[in-house]
Structure 1
Amino acid sequence: MVVLLKLPPFVRQTLLRLVLAGLLFWSSIAAMLPTLPLYIAEKGGTPHQVGFVMGAFAVGLICSRSWLGPLADRQGRKITLLIGLAVAAIAPLFYIVSHNLPLLVAVRLLHGVSIAGFTTGYMALVTDIAPPAHRGEIIGYTSLVHPIGVALGPSLGSWLQMNYSHSWVFIVASSLAALGFMAAAGVRVVNIPQDSGVSRPEKTLFWRLLLSERLRIPSLVMLSVGLTFGTIATFIPLFIAAERLDISAGLFYSVAAIASFIGRVATGSASDRWGRGIFISASLACYVVSMVLLAQAQTPLEILWAAILEGLAGGVLIPMVAALMADRSTIDERGRVLSLSLGGFDLGMALAGPLLGGLIDPLGYRLIFRMAALFSLLGLTCFLTASSKSLPDSLRFALGMGRDRYAL
């Protein structure tokens, strides 16, 4: 925390406003995590259709990243941040009047723009501000808004749904995002000197960046994790209801978020000393074990252990990949690089629901969690063997025994 106190006062104020906006944004998004799958089921959706509707959210994410990333580089980070918050404030109100599956799909597509805009603007602003020597530490601290918001949101959403109605969940989610918009509107743009001798944003095509060696493997890793997380976000409430386990989905998400908080606090500054690789590898291993536990869980305690490991995994992985991408990018392409790497996660979430939802009836929920474990295992294998310029370099980097050879 000492490094935050050393920043100029106006930079600290900017970070404070960003953190407040982030807390409100993620609380808004997370309030619907345990309730929306049940709401879709109430509207007549089968498990496959629930997966399809939930997956539409990530489709909106993917499609919007292709223009929000370049927009952040051309017009500034703040505009994309405000777009994300504005959509997060508007979209929940449309769920109230969406009474059939096609309308719900359309709203989910729109809602997906919110995370694309917010995460691109937020992470780019933070990495612009953070001194390179303390980048992992500052990203770790500022990314705590996600686990805190995701800890508060599901419990709030479940309480509103049980004591009032789904409509109140959507109204409160909209209000939280609107408050976040007001907080972010006061963010002062921090002018960071541009790197010299590098091409301007418009000279490098957005999707061409994805083919670069420095970006390809992290994006594949995020794809594998997106498939895993999409499985959790879509099917945990339905799995708990189907198995009649004496635990709420909201508690699962809240426990995972608390574990995520602990993971981010513990690893942010450590990654500046030991490198990002060892923490990315450890988080992927935690994802594998968590999904195996879910696949065989018979009691609420086993569900909670899976939630703890999943929370630790996600809490470490997302900020570590963001820091890795900041290490590997110049400032005038950072918006696009962050947008593309996070886009792998979006694609995984988009595919998980439709891909696995159709397998539930013949195979059951437990098998799809085993498949989610396999997705994470494939991501870990890719990272261990291809995260650097050669197999030996990759193993050294992924195990914390060598530097990142793609870092600029």
Structure 2
Amino acid sequence: MKKGSLWTREFVTVSTINFLLTLTFFLLIVTIAPYAQSEYGASTSTAGLVSSIFIIGSLIGRLGAGRVIGDIGSKKILWIGLICFFVISSLYFFTFNLGLLLWIRLLHGIATGIATTATGTIIAQILPVSRKGEGIGYFSLSAILATAIGPFIGVLLLKLENGFQWMFAFGVALAIICLIMYSVVKINVPTGGSYAKHETKGSLLSRFIEPKAVPISLIALVIGFSYSGVMSFLSFYAEEIHLVSASSYFFLIYAIVVLFSRPFTGKLLDLKGANIVTYPCFVIFAIGMLLFSQATAGWMLLVAAACIGLGYGNFNSVAQAVAVKLTPPHRVGLATSTYFILFDIGLGVGPYLLGFLVPTMGYRSVFSWMIAVILCCIPLYYILHGRKDRELLETKTVTETASI
């Protein structure tokens, strides 16, 4: 790989695999609850568990993959994740009761957590030091696009005769495509054993979590929590405020804004550090949440989508890049899993906790309170990372450059 090159065959292939894995997740997240209800008569709460237990599995997969990725290598971990992903995707055809469906969803989440931790680690390993922020920004677009396209495809498949079977078949087909793509590309990354060579001591916790990635990941947890209500309650909220038609374009506008802004924010991160991007992201996200909470017309909802995409959407890639940049190369896998574990906790716990508030406060009030949560991240970010951003990143860049 030439020094400074970004759009290599390895980069495109791994990013595409990550897109297909995430696409499957979002395709099923919006369709599996109706499947549980129609096929097994599941209650609303149980159907919700069928949907959300996948995230629990993903956390387990990330935790395990992050720990062993330095020992056996990110390439082998991705093979393990993709093979398990294919096998478990096939098991949906052999589900005979609700209990078995829950187990399959849990295992599917574990496989996805393993595979996506590996893809994120490989990307961090193959990117040139000088373009890490920009490269991770482009890579994370694969997940952003999947959040918009996955639910759309899922709804289309459900309209077909035997729609659920088509949905499962589509998932298996995507798993096969991932395996084929990965088998034909050569990726030059450490083959394993790097963790053992560098780590002789350390607490039990440090073997599963990267401490240097925790501060920025905690901010991601809070930001993920503040966004989780938008992701989970948009359809209910839009129906309540009579903006269902406009809401159907919400995630499309969100994805378009992220798609066009992400390259610029990634370059800024590499050139100027995280602060110049992160602080505006917090403010713009808060403005977007304000518009979202007070929307009375379709244009307000769509402008809110653009602001949330520009603020929240870009913060994600910046935070992930920071977590990787601050971490020793042999612990990049742990840093990647640490970031996504805490981020996923925010996304996963948020709807559950906010769901208790909605009946008494209403959607508008709940979303209004999220503005305060977002703004609280500004001083929290300054304390945990912002005040030392340039010094840490400059030191890290010099160290990594010297090691090349």
Pairing 1:249-264 to 2, within 5 Å after superposition: 251-264=249-262
Match of 2:27 in 1: 31
Distance 1:356 1:197 in 2: 40
Match of 1:12 in 2: 8
Identify the match of residue 56 of structure 1 among 53, 57, 63: 53
Partner SS state of residue 297, structure 1: coil
- CA positional deviation for 1:315: 3.2
- CA positional deviation for 1:205: 4.4
Identify the match of residue 225 of structure 1 among 216, 223, 226: 223
Partner SS state of residue 28, structure 2: coil
Distance 1:18 1:95 in 2: 25
Distance 1:291 1:41 in 2: 32
Distance 2:242 2:83 in 1: 38
User: Is it true that 1:235 corresponds to 2:233 in the alignment?
Assistant: yes
Distance 1:109 1:266 in 2: 37
| Letter matched to residue 256 of structure 1 | Y
Pairing 1:39-78 to 2, within 5 Å after superposition: 43-46=41-44, 52-78=49-75
- CA contact 2:93–2:165 (8 Å) conserved in 1: yes
Residue 117 to residue 184, structure 1, CA distance change in 2 (3 Å)? same
- CA contact 2:13–2:181 (8 Å) conserved in 1: yes
Partner SS state of residue 298, structure 1: coil
Residue 380 to residue 116, structure 1, CA distance change in 2 (3 Å)? farther
Q: What is the aligned-residue identity percentage?
A: 23
Match of 1:113 in 2: 110
The 10-residue stretch of structure 1 (193-202 or 332-341) with the greater mean CA deviation from structure 2: 193-202
Superimposed CA distance per residue, residues 173-220 of structure 1 (whole angstroms, 9 cap, x where no aligned partner): 332233123212334241459999996256444633788763332121
Partner SS state of residue 188, structure 2: coil
Gaps of at least 5 residues in structure 2 are 400-404
Match of 1:316 in 2: 314
- CA contact 2:32–2:50 (8 Å) conserved in 1: no
Distance 1:308 1:147 in 2: 13
Per the normalisation by structure 1, the TM-score is 0.81
- CA positional deviation for 1:6: 5.6
| Letter matched to residue 369 of structure 1 | F
Distance 2:92 2:368 in 1: 32
Distance 2:195 2:112 in 1: 32
Gaps of at least 5 residues in structure 1 are none
Distance 2:323 2:214 in 1: 11
Distance 1:303 1:199 in 2: 52
User: Is it true that 1:149 corresponds to 2:168 in the alignment?
Assistant: no
Residue 228 to residue 66, structure 1, CA distance change in 2 (3 Å)? same
User: Is it true that 1:328 corresponds to 2:326 in the alignment?
Assistant: yes
- CA positional deviation for 1:264: 1.4
Match of 2:402 in 1: none
- CA positional deviation for 1:328: 0.9
Match of 1:303 in 2: 301
| Letter matched to residue 262 of structure 1 | F
| Letter matched to residue 26 of structure 1 | T
Pairing 1:66-105 to 2, within 5 Å after superposition: 66-91=63-88, 105=102
Pairing 1:240-389 to 2, within 5 Å after superposition: 240-247=238-245, 251-387=249-385
- RMSD over aligned CA atoms reads 3.6
- CA positional deviation for 1:113: 2.0
Distance 1:134 1:29 in 2: 29
- CA contact 1:288–1:376 (8 Å) conserved in 2: yes
- CA contact 1:137–1:268 (8 Å) conserved in 2: yes
- CA contact 2:121–2:332 (8 Å) conserved in 1: yes
Match of 2:170 in 1: 172
Per the normalisation by structure 2, the TM-score is 0.82
| Letter matched to residue 287 of structure 1 | F
| Letter matched to residue 107 of structure 2 | L
